[in-house]
């Protein structure tokens, strides 16, 4: 028997539907939120020894919230993951309280556990260049090598997420000087495309054996279907092992590298925010911490009085 009452299950689905339709949250985000809230509702069922209907959810107390958080930590859930779970629960309760007309203060006032935010881990400029060069050597098939180089060049040269690069279609080729990218939450941004990136994609298209179509994926797998992101993750894993780079040298690290290297060269933070498609400037400001940390490392290593 399900630990969640039919009324709660329906309310959860309606909330998720609203996230997709109104807030533009991705399917992956909705799936994560579903799991987080489902776990919370299941805990409350066990906590009270009965399934919780909507009326019972309105009576959840601060003590109940503390019991849930303590249970999560005892189960090995880290502070960062618990903060994410709490954020999902609060979002659901905020929506539910407006719909059902109850006071959600006990849930919304619950403080998230403190944790140290991880700084982005970019590659050094020479390591980023070496990564692109080494990726080209991972396949004996010329068109596959050209494809992989084109993808990683877009990640580093345009600051794209791997999902954004792989969502390009034949209609985007040949690449123009600027691309309209639809990122997280349906947020659109205009990204300049470097000549090197356009040249890499053009080279791939000349060698690709699969016919291009406007409504088909620009980057193809060996059998002609859309390229799976795991293929790029795998080829970068091989390249980083050959280069002696850490496990943090992933496709997403190239996006971090794009932002950090622009900032180091004097790029404007607001402009970088627009290029990355960050909804909040505070997200982009993490790169200033990276740059400051790098400068302090150089200072401590090189200054006579350090």
Active site residues: 161, 184, 252, 255, 278, 287
Closest CA to 57 of 20, 21, 15, 17: 15
CA pair distance 97, 104, nearest whole angstrom: 6
> For residues 44 and 50, is the Cβ–Cβ distance under 8 A?
no
């Amino acid at each position: 028997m399900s630990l969640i009452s039919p009324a709660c299950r329906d309310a959860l689905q309606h909330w998720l539907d609203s996230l997709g339709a109104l807030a533009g949250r991705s399917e992956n985000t909705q799936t994560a939120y579903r799991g987080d809230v489902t776990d919370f509702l299941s805990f409350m069922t066990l906590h009270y020894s009965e399934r919780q209907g909507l009326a019972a959810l309105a009576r959840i107390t601060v003590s109940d919230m503390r019991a849930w958080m303590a249970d999560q930590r005892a189960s090995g859930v880290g502070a960062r993951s618990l903060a994410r779970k709490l954020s999902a629960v609060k979002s659901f309760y905020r929506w539910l309280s407006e719909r059902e007309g109850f006071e959600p203060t006990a849930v919304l006032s619950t403080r998230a556990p403190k944790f140290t935010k991880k700084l982005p881990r970019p590659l050094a400029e020479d390591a980023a260049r070496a990564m692109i060069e080494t990726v080209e050597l991972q396949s004996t098939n010329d068109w596959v090598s050209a494809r992989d180089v084109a993808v990683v060049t877009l990640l580093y040269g345009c600051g794209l997420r791997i999902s954004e690069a792989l969502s390009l279609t034949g209609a985007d080729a040949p690449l123009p000087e600027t691309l309209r990218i639809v990122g997280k939450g349906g947020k659109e941004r205009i990204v300049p495309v470097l000549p090197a990136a356009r040249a890499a994609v053009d080279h791939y298209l000349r060698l690709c054996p699969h016919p291009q179509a406007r409504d088909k994926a620009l980057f193809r797998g060996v059998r002609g279907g859309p390229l799976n992101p795991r293929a790029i993750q795998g080829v970068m894993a091989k390249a980083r092992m050959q280069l002696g780079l850490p496990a943090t040298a992933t496709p997403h690290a190239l996006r971090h590298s794009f932002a950090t290297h622009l900032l180091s060269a004097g790029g404007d933070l607001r402009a970088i925010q627009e290029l990355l498609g960050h909804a909040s400037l505070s997200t982009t400001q993490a790169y200033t911490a990276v740059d400051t940390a790098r400068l302090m490392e150089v200072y401590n290593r090189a200054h006579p009085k350090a």
